[in-house]
Copies of this chain bind each other. A is one copy, B any other.
Amino acid sequence: YEYGERELLSYRSLPAETPDGHRLVLRCNVELPSEVPHALAQGAEGVGLFRSEFLYLGRQFPPDEEEQFDAYREIATAMAPHEVTIRTLDVGGDKFVPEINLSDEVNPALGLRGVRFSLADRQLLKIQLRAILRVSALGPVRVMFPMISGVSEIRACKSILHQAMAELSREGIDFDGRLPVGIMIETPSAAMIADKLAREVDFFSVGTNDLIQYCLAVDRSNEHVAYLYEPLHPAILRALQMICSAARQAGIKVAMCGEMAAEPLYLPILIGLGFGELSMNAPCIPRVKRVVRQIRYSEGKELLEKLLQMSTVAEVTHCLEEEMMTRIPDLFGKTDI
C-alpha cells in the first residue's frame, strides 16, 4: 500500500460509503482520552472501543467513581456528538490488576478474564457502571461487556446496571435510561449462540483477536503455533457469518473492533457480512476508508458467498487476493502478496 500521505489525507472527511451506497461507520480504538483529537483528525466517527483498563492498571487501588467519571466525561466530551463505546474493565489473561490476587493461572487466556473478573467483584463493576451512566447524561455513550460466553452473564451484567440506575435515580442523579448495552463477541460460545445473545443486547462488537485465538485454539504469541492464527480460516468466516446473521435477524447493530477490521484485504468480506461499524487504531482509518469507497456491497456479498464454500485458508486467501487484484488493481495489484 505504497500511497502518498497526501492522497490518503483526502479521505479523512469523506464518508465511508461503498459505491452502491452502503454506509459504514469507522471508529477508533482508544486507550486514553487524550487520543481523541488525533482520532478525529483521522476521520473517526466515534469511539468503537474505549479500553478502560488504563484507569486500573499499575496502581494499588482501583479508581473511585469520581476519577472514572472524569475520564469518561473527558472522552465523551471530546468525541461529541459522536458516540463513545466504553468497555468495562477487561483484565486477566495478559492484563493484570495488582490489587486483586490472581493466583498463577496455567492457561491465563482460559482464566479469570473480562466480565468474569467483573462478576467476581460486582461492587467494582457497579462503581464503573455508575460512572458510565453519569456520563451518559452528558453525551452519547454506550457500554460494552467483554468475554461474554453465555446469556446468564449478560443478564447478570444488566441486573447490576439496573441496580446502578436505581441508585442514581434515588440519588437524583441524571443518566440516559436508554444507554445502549452491548457485548464483545470473542468466545466461540458467543458466536455459536449469537442469536440468543442478540435478544439481550443492543449491539455486538466482534473482538477478532480473541475470537480467532479461541476458535482455532491458538495462542498467537506462541511461536510454535502462531502460523495457525488465520483470520481467513473457513471456521472464522463461518463464525463471523453466524454473528452477523444473528445480529441482522434481531435487528441489532454489529461492529468489529479486532485487528481484522483494519486490514484492507479483508474489507470486501466485512462489507459483505454486513458490518455496520469497524473500529480500529485511528491511523488506519483513512486507508480503510479509501478501500471501502471502492468496494460495492453487492460485490462483497458475492465474494463472501464464494469464499464461504472453500475448505482451506490457502484457497480463501488465493481467491480473495486474485479478486482484489482484478477489482482494484490500483491498491492490490502492485503488491506481491
Contact = CB atoms under 8 A, between A and B. Distances in A.
Given A228-B149, A234-B196, A213 B111 contact: no
A151 B233 CA distance: 10
Contacts of A214: 188, 214-215, 217
Interface in A127-159: 147, 149-152, 155
A105 interface: yes
A23 B285 CA distance: 58
A24 interface: no
Contacts of A120: 224
A314 interface: yes
A239 to B, nearest CB: 6
Given A149-B228, A217-B147, A235-B150, A107 B222 contact: yes
Given A116-B225, A214-B217, A312-B150, A235 B111 contact: no
Contacts of A253: none
A151 B316 CA distance: 12
Given A105-B219, A110-B109, A149 B116 contact: no
Nearest to A105: B222
A195 B155 CA distance: 33
A60 interface: no
Interface string A13-48: 000000000000000000000000000000000000
Contacts of A225: 110-112, 116
Contacts of A210: 217
A326 interface: no
A152 B313 contact: yes
A192 B238 contact: yes
Contacts of A111: 219, 222, 224-225
A151 B238 contact: no
Contacts of A150: 216, 228, 233-235, 312-313
A221 interface: yes
A169 interface: no
Q: How large is the interface on A (under 10, 10 to 19, 20 to 34, 35 or more residues)?
A: 35 or more
B215 A187 contact: yes
Contacts of A191: 188, 192
A123 interface: no
A85 to B, nearest CB: 22
A311 interface: yes
Contacts of A265: none
A184 to B, nearest CB: 12
A102 interface: yes
Interface in A183-223: 187-193, 196, 199, 210, 213-219, 221-223
Given A106-B221, A189-B235, 12 more contacts: A102-B224, A106-B219, A107-B110, A110-B110, A110-B218, A110-B225, A111-B222, A111-B225, A149-B235, A189-B215, A193-B311, A199-B311
Interface of A: 102-103, 105-113, 116, 120, 147, 149-152, 155, 187-193, 196, 199, 210, 213-219, 221-225, 228, 233-236, 238-239, 242, 311-314
8 contacts: A112-B224, A150-B312, A150-B313, A155-B312, A190-B235, A192-B192, A193-B235, A214-B217
